């Protein structure tokens, strides 16, 4: 593996709430190589967006971020002064958000918002910025780019808005794009288009892409590597093929079993229960209340991190070919 572009070790984000601190992200590790496509999957509330917002420095002041390492392109993001950090954010590191309609400022034209990042980061003349904006809109497949640049966001559809957001992210030729569920808010028919566009652009430009999603189907088709998050913790990370062939964490296995394509019986399997919140956090393994294989140990003792041969699974009894391991030792 090449020198990673983005390197995260033991990232923890906690929020001050009225009932005490809440760990939204708990010990997440991630490396992304230049040009690599990594997917982060997990249910709503599993902290996958928050972890990436922490990388971008976009969390509100109530968030406390700690990490053993949080580096991007040779810069230590934790040590960087805000002014220095702003030189990287938006230029080398861009983000695409979940809600395209509300992510564009209603008071400014599309053109203004696309040109703005270039004005902040690139040494281009007004005419060059305009030309680049037209070029970008063509790139993301928006017809009549000159006219669209003069449009206001409310005059665009959701799919169109997300194309504009992608154009904005690409404006300064970033090295890494973080796409936070870029298709979730869109119509099903548009979702495939936007995803195809994103993947085509990623392939063409060789930009690194972190794709946050809760759609395992999307992951199977696109990513080289997959991170599975559960309740703020990273429970497994594997190359995509390996993850689909032999999931090591019971949560990953349950997620895969819930895919309609993989369902064997007439009833689609589901994972009982919900992600624990602030009040009902289990003592041991956070997944233990919902886990098929959970034992007394799981409920009491926080699980260890397995080696990379077991997908870095955070589990007492990681699965191999669907069978829990180590059981006899622990019992």
- Interface residues with other proteins (CB under 8 A) are 56, 58, 85-91, 94-95, 97, 99, 102-108, 113, 116-117, 120-121, 152, 154-155, 165, 168
Minimum Å distance from CB 58 to other proteins?
6
Would you say 65 or 255 has its CB closer to other proteins? 65
Minimum Å distance from CB 164 to other proteins?
11
Would you say 88 or 255 has its CB closer to other proteins? 88
Would you say 94 or 285 has its CB closer to other proteins? 94
Minimum Å distance from CB 53 to other proteins?
8
Minimum Å distance from CB 204 to other proteins?
22
Task: State the first-to-last Cα distance of the chain, in angstroms, to the nearest integer.
Answer: 38
- Other CB atoms within a 10 A radius of the CB of residue 50 amount to 22
Identify the residue whose tokens are 């230029």: 91
Minimum Å distance from CB 166 to other proteins?
12
Residues in the chain: 331
Would you say 174 or 276 has its CB closer to other proteins? 174
Minimum Å distance from CB 128 to other proteins?
18
Concatenated DSSP letters for 227-295? EEEETTEEEEEEEHHHHHH---SHHHHHHHHT-GGG--SSSPP---S----STT--SS-TTGGG-TT--
Would you say 156 or 314 has its CB closer to other proteins? 156
Whether the Cβ atoms of residue 162 and residue 195 lie closer than 8 Å to each other: no
Would you say 26 or 92 has its CB closer to other proteins? 92
Would you say 96 or 275 has its CB closer to other proteins? 96
Helix axes 110-121, 126-139, angle to 10 degrees: 120
Give CA–CA dist 300/296, Å, rounded: 6
Would you say 24 or 95 has its CB closer to other proteins? 95
Q: What is the DSSP letter of 100?
A: H
Give CA–CA dist 275/64, Å, rounded: 22
Minimum Å distance from CB 242 to other proteins?
33
CA distances from 182 to 48, 158, 186, 191 (A): 13, 11, 8, 8
Identify the residue whose tokens are 């098929």: 292
Minimum Å distance from CB 290 to other proteins?
31
By C-alpha distance, which of 196, 136, 205, 218 is closest to 177? 205
Give CA–CA dist 136/1, Å, rounded: 31
């Amino acid at each position: 593996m090449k020198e990673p572009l983005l390197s995260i070790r033991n990232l923890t984000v906690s929020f001050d709430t009225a009932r005490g601190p809440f760990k939204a992200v708990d010990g997440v590790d991630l490396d992304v190589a230049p040009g690599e496509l990594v997917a982060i999957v997990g249910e709503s509330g599993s902290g996958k967006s928050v972890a990436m917002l922490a990388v971008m420095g976009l969390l509100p002041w109530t968030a406390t971020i700690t990490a053993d390492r949080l580096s991007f392109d040779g810069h230590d993001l934790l040590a960087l002064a805000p002014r220095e950090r702003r030189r990287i954010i938006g230029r080398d590191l861009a983000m695409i958000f979940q809600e395209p309609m509300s992510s564009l400022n209603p008071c400014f034209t599309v053109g203004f918002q696309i040109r703005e990042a270039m004005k902040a980061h690139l040494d281009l003349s007004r005419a060059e910025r305009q030309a680049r904006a037209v070029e970008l809109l063509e790139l993301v497949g928006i017809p009549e780019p000159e006219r669209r640049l003069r449009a206001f966001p409310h005059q665009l559809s959701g799919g169109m808005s997300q194309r504009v957001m992608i154009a904005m992210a690409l404006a300064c030729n970033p090295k890494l794009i973080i796409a936070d569920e870029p298709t979730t808010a869109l119509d099903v028919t548009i979702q495939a288009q936007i995803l195809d566009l994103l993947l085509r652009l990623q392939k063409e430009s060789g930009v690194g892409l972190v794709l946050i999603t809760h759609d395992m189907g999307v992951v199977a088709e696109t990513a080289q590597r997959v991170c599975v998050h559960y309740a703020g913790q990273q429970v497994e990370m594997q190359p995509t093929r390996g993850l689909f062939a032999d999931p090591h964490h019971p949560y990953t296995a349950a997620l895969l079993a819930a895919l309609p394509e993989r369902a064997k019986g007439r009833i689609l399997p589901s994972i009982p229960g919900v992600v624990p919140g602030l009040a009902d956090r289990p003592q041991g393994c956070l997944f233990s209340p919902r886990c098929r294989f959970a034992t007394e140990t799981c409920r009491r003792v926080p699980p260890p991190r397995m080696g990379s041969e077991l997908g870095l699974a955070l589990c007492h009894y990681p699965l191999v070919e669907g069978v829990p391991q180590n059981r006899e030792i622990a019992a």
